[in-house]
Structure 1
Amino acid sequence: MPFDHPLPPLPTQPEGVAWPTKAWPEGTPAHGTDTARLNSLLERAFADPAPDTMGETHAFLAVQGGKVVAERYWRDFTPGTTFPSWSEAKSITQALVGILVRDGRINIHAPADVPEWQSADDPRREITLDMLLRMSSGLKFVEDYVPGSVSDVIEMLFGGGQEDVAAYAANQPLEHEPDTFWSYSSGTSNIVARCAARTLGMAGEDFRDFMFRELFSPIGMRSPLPKFDKAGTFIGSSFCYCTARDFARFGLLYLRDGVWDGTRILPEGWADYARTPTPAVPEIETLGYGAHWWLGMAGPGSFSCNGYEGQYTVLVPEKDLILVRHGKSPLEAKEEVQAWIADVADCF
């Protein structure tokens, strides 16, 4: 795949460090880490009662050089607790598409396989999986989590669209010409998830089996709990619960360029595709966007899975670092939590 932007190289697994397929190796942060500042930041985040500026932090995990180097949980949360993904699931959906690309089953630059768009005069026929993955489809979708306001995401997940989330999203009209306008949309992720399922001729339990066989089990993720709607579509925008250590495994797969213990899980270039900036992200967004991954939270070159209420898996290639944070933070605390993660990364 061609890319227009130079990207920092992705680190390889250090010699002699076991892959965490069964258990995570444990170690200490790299020499030069500001452990005093790191501990101070953790004390602030895990204060009880939780700080109003950040909300509750339920779990924190740092992996450096392929080893767990810091880990902490709040109150009754433990390493065995499964945490909500919210939109971290979008990055998992991107990985599932990557597996189909690897096997030559799908072309992200061809028109997406969406039954609702098959009319000869439907301009939505121009929309590709690439446009959907980069949030540049041009489809109308109001991504607002404030109860009582006009919100397509609430209507799709909890209202009239919940039994067939992909159909709800696919039936939205175009607001912009495809590939000319960026707008974050959980609806597009569910269209992508259904496209993947249609490619395989699978839904429900069969698709769940595919997820475990091709993605989760090979990298040692045992905790995932993906949710499906009544139509059998993986709700790839929002719902795949995992432990913090399993979210870190998923992050390590991308930090290692889609290769796990000598086996290529994701096609060559797929992790780079995830972290290549999408044009036309509006200036009101504090972060950049790639392909179902966010960019720049922990400095230039970092990329991340971000979820509602403060769910994050953040990769910092230049430091061979993964930071996982789960919690329950109000929307108005989002930038404060992201700044805290950037400060934590700066300690390493």
Structure 2
Amino acid sequence: MTLLVLPDQAHDVPWPTKDWPAGSLPAGLNRGAFEALISEAFAEPASELLGETHALLVVHGGRLVYERYGVASGPEATQPSWSMAKSMTHALVGMLVADGKLDIHRPADVPEWQGAGDPRAAITLDQLLRMSSGLAFIEDYVPGHPSDVIAMLYGVGKSDVAHYAADLPLAYPPGSFWNYASGTSNIVARCAAQAQGVDFAAFMRERLFGPLGMTSATPKFDAAGTFIGSSYCFCTARDFARFGLLYLRDGIWEGRRLLPPGWVDYARTPTFQQAGVTDGRYGSHWWLDIGGPGSFSANGYDGQLIVIVPDLDLVVVRNGATPLDKKDALRAWMGELVSAFR
């Protein structure tokens, strides 16, 4: 498979480490379509199609060209990441791979799997990152339905989210079945912290948030000290856009490589998914295609999105509160928004 080329930062465009350089919407934009989509997103009191939109940012060519907030939000307001935190976990793993502290193709260092003859001991970090571990995890957000993600985040597993997920049995042989599972991200986050070996919160600040200027980033940890990498890193929309630009720029920031060569390509290379999957294509802790072929995105519950479109040199951030029954409409809306730039 041929991946789209990731564009470089233009020499005359400053990096947004301190402030976002401002730009204008491109001349080729379909303004009628764009304005109609914006009106729908920010309808009051809420869009019947999309629910509430709290923030929308568009970065084109490394410049912030559009920014709008809902009535109760603004540039300084932090927004929930939900599962966009998974993509940040992917970045942190990449940094530890570059440090020689992790090998994603070796069995993951998970204490719960070390018993004699335990088949889970064969699960690799790669399989966890690709949601192909085979663990029996139920990702369901409907109240009253069986749900491991709700039990992990709010119930019996909340004090030690990685242990809750790692203690589950196999449902399929590792690598044979794709199943989106937030628990695997928390196992990965604990593996990363074990490999890093000191203060993981400090590591996150020094290696990711600090260099990018993500001063608002607020990751959450459970009582066991594990970063809840499945779900919780609050940021302003501008800081989410900074993170998106890092991946659009192939892991390079201000001329310095923060992610190892090929790590962004690894994020956007499709994972095997069995027939019948309806959630969309997946890479490695990143989703694929929401902004058209070749795009990739960090997607979170309630419609949190960081969409990266390499061929348009575009990053789109959307934060809001979109009910589950409207998520397909939001995906279609985002696809149309990106298409307006074509």
Relative to the length of structure 2, the TM-score reads 0.98
Q: Which amino acid aligns with 2:192?
A: A
What is aligned with 2:300? 307
How far off its partner does 1:230 sit? Answer: 0.2
What is aligned with 2:226? 233
1:285-324 alignment runs, 5 A limit? 285-324=278-317
Does 2:149 match 1:153? Answer: yes
What is aligned with 2:195? 199
**What's the % identity of the aligned pairs?**
59
How far off its partner does 1:281 sit? Answer: 4.8
What is aligned with 1:280? 273
1:39-58 alignment runs, 5 A limit? 39-58=35-54
1:288 partner SS = coil
How far off its partner does 1:15 sit? Answer: 2.2
Deviations 1:39-73 (A, max 9, x none): 11101110111122210011100000000111110
What is aligned with 1:332? 325
Deviations 1:218-277 (A, max 9, x none): 011100110000000000000000000000000000000000011000000000000000
What is aligned with 2:69? 73
Q: Which amino acid aligns with 2:119?
A: P
Q: Which amino acid aligns with 2:137?
A: F
Alpha-carbon distance between aligned partners in 1 of 2:279 and 2:124, rounded to the nearest angstrom = 26
Alpha-carbon distance between aligned partners in 2 of 1:82 and 1:336, rounded to the nearest angstrom = 25
Q: Which amino acid aligns with 2:61?
A: G
What is aligned with 2:171? 175
What is aligned with 1:262? 255
Unaligned regions of 5+ residues in structure 1, if any?
A: none
Root-mean-square deviation (CA, aligned residues, Å) is 0.8
Deviations 1:268-316 (A, max 9, x none): 0000000000012543324210000000001100000000000000000
1:67-106 alignment runs, 5 A limit? 67-106=63-102
How far off its partner does 1:338 sit? Answer: 0.9
CA contact (8 A) 1:133 1:188 kept: yes
Does 2:115 match 1:119? Answer: yes
Unaligned regions of 5+ residues in structure 2, if any?
A: none
What is aligned with 2:128? 132
What is aligned with 2:244? 251
Alpha-carbon distance between aligned partners in 1 of 2:6 and 2:242, rounded to the nearest angstrom = 15
How far off its partner does 1:207 sit? Answer: 1.1
1:242 partner SS = strand
Alpha-carbon distance between aligned partners in 2 of 1:163 and 1:267, rounded to the nearest angstrom = 33
Please identify runs of 4+ aligned residues in structure 1 that moved more than 3 A.
281-284
Pick one of 180, 186, 201 that aligns with 1:184: 180
Pick one of 138, 141, 151 that aligns with 1:142: 138
Q: Which amino acid aligns with 1:336?
A: A
Relative to the length of structure 1, the TM-score reads 0.97
Deviations 1:58-92 (A, max 9, x none): 11000000001111101020011100000000000
Alpha-carbon distance between aligned partners in 2 of 1:209 and 1:77, rounded to the nearest angstrom = 28
Question: How many equivalent residue pairs?
Answer: 341
How far off its partner does 1:30 sit? Answer: 2.3
